[in-house]
Amino acid sequence: MDRFMEEVVVKKQRGLNEVLYVLSVVMMVVMAIVGFMTMQMLFVQFDLFMLIFTLINLGGAFLLFLYRDRLRTEYEYTFTNGTLDFAKVFNNQKRKSLGSLACARVEAFGPVNGNAFQRYITMPGMKRSNWFLNRGAELYYFYIQKDNSKRLIIFEPSQELVDYIKFYLPRGAWQE
């Protein structure tokens, strides 16, 4: 029997992010208009201050265009027969794959509020990946080692996904 589950994690309180998104779109448009207007004035009479002002406005509009979608970030967890794929989705348009993890390779898995998590987080040389959005949510972690590098992945799965993961874990990997 195949076990498949897909989960999308969205931020619970998105009010501030939505306001910042709208403000960034408005600022992007205003900065682009001001930049193009001052660029036209440069053709009439060149001024170094006006050139710097134009470059700042056009550069700011371009950066807002590139990074505004990051205010609407979601995480996607896809579980297929013991393999968990992680992805970061920006504004439901751009998808960035974060990686794939076979549950059979996991050395430890458990809730973040458990005692075992403190032992792993304080290890020297630990690389930590936070793939969650809601700080008050029930968070879980994976501890894996690959090529002498230690990695801790923290994410927020549902209880059903946790049960699927537990089914494929090696003996002794579940930590409470």
What pLDDT is attached to residue 114? 83
Beta bridge partners of 146: 149
DSSP conformation class of 57: H
Count of structural domains within the chain: 2
Whether residue 19 is contained in a domain is answered as yes
Are residues 96 and 58 both part of a single domain? no
Q: What is the pLDDT of residue 1?
A: 64
Asked if residue 163 and residue 88 are part of one domain, the reply reads: yes
For β-strands 83-90 and 94-102, DSSP reports them as antiparallel
Same domain, yes or no, for 34 and 109? no
The residue whose two tokens read 């348009």 is: 93
Q: Average pLDDT for consecutive 10-residue bins of the chain (176 residues)?
A: 86 87 96 95 90 95 92 93 93 92 92 88 90 89 89 93 91 85
Q: Which residues contact 95 (CB under 8 A, 6 or more apart)?
A: 76, 87, 88, 89
Residue 33 structural domain:
15-70
Instruction: Give domain status of residue 111, yes or no.
Output: yes
pLDDT of residue 146: 85
Q: Please tell me the predicted confidence (pLDDT) of residue 21.
A: 92
Q: DSSP state, 45? A: S
Please tell me whether residues 21 and 100 are part of one structural domain.
Answer: no
Residue 174 resides in a domain: no
173 in a structural domain: no
Residues 65 and 96 in one domain: no
What per-residue confidence (pLDDT) applies to 13?
Answer: 84
Angle between helices 48-67 and 15-44 (to 10 degrees): 150
Provide the pLDDT for residue 106.
92
Q: Which residues pair with 129 in a beta bridge?
A: 153
| Calpha distance 10→140 (Å, rounded) | 16
Is the entire prediction scored with pTM above 0.95?
Answer: no
